[in-house]
Structure 1
Amino acid sequence: MTSQGWVVIAGPNAARRAELAAAMVDRPDWRQCVFNGPAAVFTQSQCQYATPPGTADAGVLGTVFTRHGTSYHQGTLEDAAWRNLCCGSIGQFFERCWGGFVALSSSAESLQVSRDPSAAMPCYYAHASGVVLVGSSIAHLIAAGLRKPTIAMDQLARSLFRADLSSQETAFVGVSELLPGDCLQIDRDGLHIRHVWSPWDHVAIDETIGFLRHAEQLRDAVENCVAAWGTTAHRTLVGVSGGLDSSIVATCLASKTPRPVCVTVSTADAEGDERVHAHRICDHLKLALQEADYDLDDIDIERPARPDLPRPTGRMIAQAYNAAVTRVAHGNGADAFFTGNGGDNVFAFSQSAGAIADRLLHDGPWIGAWQTARDICQLTGCSLIQAWRSALRLAIGPHSYNWKPDRGFLHPDVLRKLDREPLMHPWLDAPKGALPGKAAHIAALLRIQRHLEDTGQLSAVRVINPLMSQPIIETCLAIPSWMWCRGGRNRSVARHAFRNVMPPSITDRVSKGGPSGFGTRIINTFHDRIMGRLLEGHLAAGGIVDRAALERRLRDDRPDWGTEQVRVLELLEAEAWIDHWR
């Protein structure tokens, strides 16, 4: 596991704070940091910590960059940024700084803990015997004095139902997550959450900026952010599939010294074998490409792929991918693994009629709206009548995004209860005048957040997802939804932005591969054991899953699992996660 952890021991009970801090001081893998506020701050060896010049009234944990036009510099914050943080102006601090960090500020007996909007730095908190512990993982909270938390099965069921919708609630009793862009205030009156950064503050349409200028601004933001993250690593490994997103990341890192090495991980079936596409971008960039395979020997269905997260997340298939990448990383001495994760989300990949509805509401029923309708038809293969029907429904209906839960294989009693609870998140609350297509774009940003945390899944190799950097997010939010599908191509602005530095076979590629075939192999290979674990396991005993429905599907010999395969592997991950924490 990477040594980038941090813990803050806070709360009004000074004696208890001092007691827990003294115990942490004796631990050789932790060091105490200077901080003048009502808290003790500890970091592990690879976690950066910075304070203002001449004082320790504030601090930043993690990687932080400051903005100077279109260039970014790590570590040294400008005086104005420190002043913003010290006086509690967190919103202004977020305007000046970005990265993967948690910022600390204090006043009198109050502590403010603010998480950057990108979700790159995890942040959890819990009460523990008169203090509040805040840290980068549950394991780190336990190291600081939290008793091993109890699983809340009702909260776990809610997590499975929410379908990747972020929440303050975890699957542990008494443990909460500080959401990206939020600020936690700890004082004598308790805990208070303030929403500081909102994507809705960045969606205004600038009529003076056209498609070409948006593409230029996007390329500037992406190149600078990827380059900035590149300065934090000595030897870089880049995951490439030959798709647009990972190819953009590789292109932006190609000039880095030492030169990055690329890796592509393939399945035995054609859908998951993208080596041809990966070689095209690597040959173009003159970067070395190493090939690896999804291997069933790396799958242990009794072990979770992401054990350190506070709720089951993802699928067991990740074990094989992580193992393959880790071997290549260690073989090349890489200390960081760069991905294209989040590209579909930030570049507004969509097949809905939201772009038509947005343009209709913004420009009226003129030629622009009809052109966007034709773009959507070309993109999806639907007819103009179908496109306009969908667009009109979106235009005249509520403009907030309607998050759809995942009901797959959950018990009817659980569904009846959860159906009465609204699926809420502050980013889903669309303001007056919001456009439905942009609401869907923001929902896509939420959908990826729970999969971005670096929890040591690649051992000591850091995982960096540069496309989800705050400046890129803000740049993309300002681009009208109809520009993203221009010409009948998804992610059109990003394709145009990098068309002069990548081969057409990459920028024009619309096919997508995936490891679903390997997921089917997992189910077929371990079928009897999977059946036993899911039908006789914790989820079935707790009445969370519909045992009869699961048994019917697992006994069905149909080869095409479709989306049910994903759900079965998610439930298998949840079962292993429960075993890990019990």
Structure 2
Amino acid sequence: MIGVVFSRGTFRRLSSVVEPVPDCTTAGATARYLVTKVWGGYFAIIEDRSKGHIGLLVDPSGLLPVYHLATPDHDLYASDPRLFARSGTPGPPVSYLALHAHLLKPELRRRVTCLEGVEELAPGVLHLPGMPEEPPQAIWHAADFLPSAQILDFEEYADQLKGLSTAVIQCWSESLGKASVAASGGVDSSLICAALSHADQRFDCVTLATLDPTGDERIYARRVADWFDVRCAERVYDPGGVGRKTDQSAGAGSTSSARD
């Protein structure tokens, strides 16, 4: 397992899965065991003893992206497509059709990328690269994690949400260090701020704005930061920075996208 893994039962970070897997003869059985026992941002390489191949599982959250490039001789997998070049493989060309589709709906996460022949593995799905006749198997299903007990009242559900969100956010904060929350004043980022505060974790807020009011959420981000008594860093997008290269420390080919 590559990445960050936490126990679903204890909310502790794991360095290994110490519990014996009840049925590890197939990759599918092991994958189903993992999604019920652990969570985080990970990529699992699982032995399929029944068929002598391996299975590949990206955790259901998709926090750790995994990209696939097939060559005449190898199947390559990487968390960043730029790593493919280290294998000696020529850099894949841009897929302009995929780029067009991405620009139309940039928030839609697709398996197809903007590079020819490079696809992202679907989260929560078991892939069997050595068995092309076997289709990918959906391992994670939301319905498996829905509450099955009696319906509770609003306050009880609120307490459950508070406890779970605080435990999850505390795990990440203790593993990765002080957080900078991309605050907008909306529900998602405000819940993260509340969970960090309740868990006594240090954090700041940050917000990016456009000069057009429709892309400016600074007033809401400030109110959230003021409520939790934390700093709020604000930056404004600079259209003039598009295509302008920064220094080498920012990474080759990067562009300047914000200014003070």
Mapped pair 1:171 → 2:114: yes
Report the alpha carbon displacement of residue 105 of structure 1 after superposing the two structures with TM.
Answer: 1.1
Equivalent residue, structure 1, for 2:155:
212
The two structures have a TM-score, normalised by structure 1, of: 0.38
Q: Return 235-244 or 89-98, whichever deviates more.
A: 235-244
- State the secondary structure of the residue aligned to 1:141: helix
Higher strand fraction (1 or 2): 2
Mapped pair 1:290 → 2:229: no
Mapped pair 1:123 → 2:66: yes
| Letter in structure 1 aligned against 2:232 | Q
- State the secondary structure of the residue aligned to 1:294: strand
- Which of 18, 31, 38 is equivalent to 1:79? 18
Mapped pair 1:91 → 2:32: yes
1:212-262 superposed Cα distances (whole Å, 9 cap, x missing partner): 332222222211111111012233222323333222212222366772222
- List aligned pairs for 1:101-116, cutoff 5 A: 101-107=42-48, 109-116=52-59
1:127-151 superposed Cα distances (whole Å, 9 cap, x missing partner): 2231211111211122233321133
Mapped pair 1:239 → 2:182: yes
- Which of 130, 146, 152 is equivalent to 1:187? 130
Equivalent residue, structure 2, for 1:62:
3
Equivalent residue, structure 2, for 1:135:
78
- State the secondary structure of the residue aligned to 1:74: coil
- State the distance in 1 between where 2:99 and 2:24 align: 35
- State the secondary structure of the residue aligned to 2:180: strand
Equivalent residue, structure 2, for 1:260:
203
- State the distance in 1 between where 2:237 and 2:98 align: 33
- State the distance in 1 between where 2:131 and 2:26 align: 19
Change in CA separation of 1:299 and 1:160 when aligned onto 2, cut-off 3 Å: closer
| Letter in structure 2 aligned against 1:102 | F
- State the distance in 1 between where 2:118 and 2:214 align: 40
Change in CA separation of 1:114 and 1:145 when aligned onto 2, cut-off 3 Å: farther
- State the distance in 1 between where 2:113 and 2:218 align: 38
Report the alpha carbon displacement of residue 103 of structure 1 after superposing the two structures with TM.
Answer: 0.7
Gaps of 5+ in 1: 1-59, 309-317, 328-582
Asked whether the 8 Å contact 1:186–1:192 carries over to 2, the reply is no
Change in CA separation of 1:229 and 1:187 when aligned onto 2, cut-off 3 Å: same
- State the distance in 2 between where 1:86 and 1:192 align: 18
Mapped pair 1:144 → 2:87: yes
Amino-acid identity (%): 22
- Which of 242, 247, 251 is equivalent to 1:300? 242
- State the distance in 2 between where 1:152 and 1:268 align: 32
Change in CA separation of 1:115 and 1:188 when aligned onto 2, cut-off 3 Å: closer
- State the distance in 1 between where 2:59 and 2:150 align: 29
- Which of 220, 225, 230 is equivalent to 2:168? 225
- State the distance in 2 between where 1:162 and 1:272 align: 17
Q: How many residues align?
A: 249
| Letter in structure 1 aligned against 2:13 | Q
- State the secondary structure of the residue aligned to 1:248: helix
- State the distance in 2 between where 1:62 and 1:177 align: 17
The two structures have a TM-score, normalised by structure 2, of: 0.77
- State the distance in 2 between where 1:297 and 1:260 align: 29
- State the secondary structure of the residue aligned to 1:119: coil
Change in CA separation of 1:144 and 1:242 when aligned onto 2, cut-off 3 Å: same
| Letter in structure 1 aligned against 2:236 | Y
Report the alpha carbon displacement of residue 189 of structure 1 after superposing the two structures with TM.
Answer: 5.2
Higher helix fraction (1 or 2): 1
1:152-197 superposed Cα distances (whole Å, 9 cap, x missing partner): 4444455556775544333333222211111111226577422111
- State the distance in 2 between where 1:253 and 1:234 align: 12
1:82-117 superposed Cα distances (whole Å, 9 cap, x missing partner): 666785321121011111111111135411110011
Change in CA separation of 1:296 and 1:169 when aligned onto 2, cut-off 3 Å: closer
Asked whether the 8 Å contact 2:70–2:76 carries over to 1, the reply is yes
| Letter in structure 1 aligned against 2:11 | Y
| Letter in structure 2 aligned against 1:75 | L
- State the distance in 1 between where 2:154 and 2:21 align: 36
Change in CA separation of 1:286 and 1:154 when aligned onto 2, cut-off 3 Å: closer
Report the alpha carbon displacement of residue 122 of structure 1 after superposing the two structures with TM.
Answer: 0.3
Asked whether the 8 Å contact 1:238–1:262 carries over to 2, the reply is yes
CA RMSD of aligned residues (A): 3.5
Asked whether the 8 Å contact 1:65–1:77 carries over to 2, the reply is no
Change in CA separation of 1:137 and 1:207 when aligned onto 2, cut-off 3 Å: same
- State the secondary structure of the residue aligned to 1:64: strand
Report the alpha carbon displacement of residue 63 of structure 1 after superposing the two structures with TM.
Answer: 0.9
- Structure with the bigger RCO (C-alpha within 8 Å, sep 6+) is 1
Gaps of 5+ in 2: 246-250
| Letter in structure 2 aligned against 1:292 | E
Q: Which has the larger radius of gyration?
A: 1
| Letter in structure 2 aligned against 1:296 | D
- State the distance in 2 between where 1:276 and 1:164 align: 24
Asked whether the 8 Å contact 2:179–2:203 carries over to 1, the reply is yes
- State the secondary structure of the residue aligned to 1:247: helix
- State the distance in 1 between where 2:111 and 2:131 align: 21
